[in-house]
Structure 1
């Protein structure tokens, strides 16, 4: 159960969607504030400093992507896009601009709350003053110790190449969130790497052979077709 101290801002102009998310968040202990336009949403982000933003892209006054760009100039506050846009390019664009996750309408409460937990966990893990910053990743027998750079599966150490480890560690630090191909490649090979993701796909195939019982039906790292990869959410609960 999350702490009631978390504040979520909903920026959404469809009242039924706002009411649905408002009810779900409040029932899980969150403080919630709402805005029905981009301008009022930006004002609330700067004045209220929410812990999380749930953002619709199709707002009446400002495109949601422009809000992401503006907010990312001064804060790393988690942003989860809530949108009816299902095109892969729309998802990639929002994520590459700095959104932490992307949920397509319609969606259910369990999915919404799982994505929120993942985004808040990532936000806390990236804070070097947080205990989560160095806490190992654990999920269904897979254990990743970031300090020792060690991966163990069902009690046996898994030997990955340096590149393979960097890919898995990056996904584990962002567990539960979809990471675009470009974000992964930039983190592993640097910001000036080629846009061709073939080398990433080759490494991912090798990783899956080492950590998945059935690489064609992965249980740890999932493919978001045309977008990137998502690692199963860390089993550690937020404190």
Structure 2
């Protein structure tokens, strides 16, 4: 059964969506705000999400960006905002489709089917279950943005966190030096490989049992880095 997470602060509309989806054999969870949505998505990963942008605690775009740190589930935006700028922001954040209110329930259901069909046909990628990645020596919580060793919490700088997050979300994959530099520091830093050496050394000191012989944060000389679970 396909699980849908409805993120909508209008209680009447949320109830109508839940009833219509359940009548068509979807399993449905509903969240009235962004924080609840991210918590539910981590606890019970949905197959697809319907997200409003005008939420009481945060913008829906922020919800999508946070979700994309660990989930590849299709996101259908359902919003009263009809401007092209809002649509572009949502799509750039990781949304798969965008519908404006008022809307046709039949069209929404058709788009929902299309989104789940595309996801089912996409190449299989490793999910990050529950927003957490655990190794024998540390655990990374991508929702709470926390890292723990067996015996203590690990404090990371924002730059260290961003670098680790990219690697963790691509387990086993080689991430090029250029991509890491551009995503963490910006396009003008694409050749500053010394930045990566310094920050990777800091991460290893904080996470690896033996930083001089890393088990998890692996260097591919001249190419990039990878996270080995």
Partner residue in 1 for 2:95: 99
Task: Give the CA RMSD over aligned residues.
Answer: 1.5
Counterparts of 1:62-211 in structure 2 under 5 Å?
62-128=58-124
For 1:128 and 1:61, the matched residues in 2 are separated by 33
For 1:72 and 1:63, the matched residues in 2 are separated by 15
1:6 and 2:2 are equivalent in the alignment: yes
For 2:63 and 2:71, the matched residues in 1 are separated by 12
In the TM superposition, structure 1's runs of 4+ consecutive aligned residues that sit over 2 Å from their partners are none
Normalising by structure 1, we get a TM-score of 0.51
For residues 11-64 of structure 1, give each alpha carbon's deviation from its aligned partner in whole angstroms, at most 9, with x where no partner exists.
Answer: 100012102211221111101111101111110010010111111100000110
Q: CA deviation at 1:72?
A: 0.7
Partner residue in 2 for 1:172: none
SS at match of 1:96: helix
Q: CA deviation at 1:105?
A: 0.6
Q: CA deviation at 1:128?
A: 4.3
**Unpaired segments ≥5 residues, structure 2:** 126-186, 188-229
Normalising by structure 2, we get a TM-score of 0.53
SS at match of 2:103: coil
Question: Higher Cα Rg: structure 1 or 2?
Answer: 2
Task: State the aligned residue count.
Answer: 126
For 1:110 and 1:128, the matched residues in 2 are separated by 29
**Unpaired segments ≥5 residues, structure 1:** 130-191, 193-239
For residues 176-210 of structure 1, give each alpha carbon's deviation from its aligned partner in whole angstroms, at most 9, with x where no partner exists.
Answer: xxxxxxxxxxxxxxxx9xxxxxxxxxxxxxxxxxx
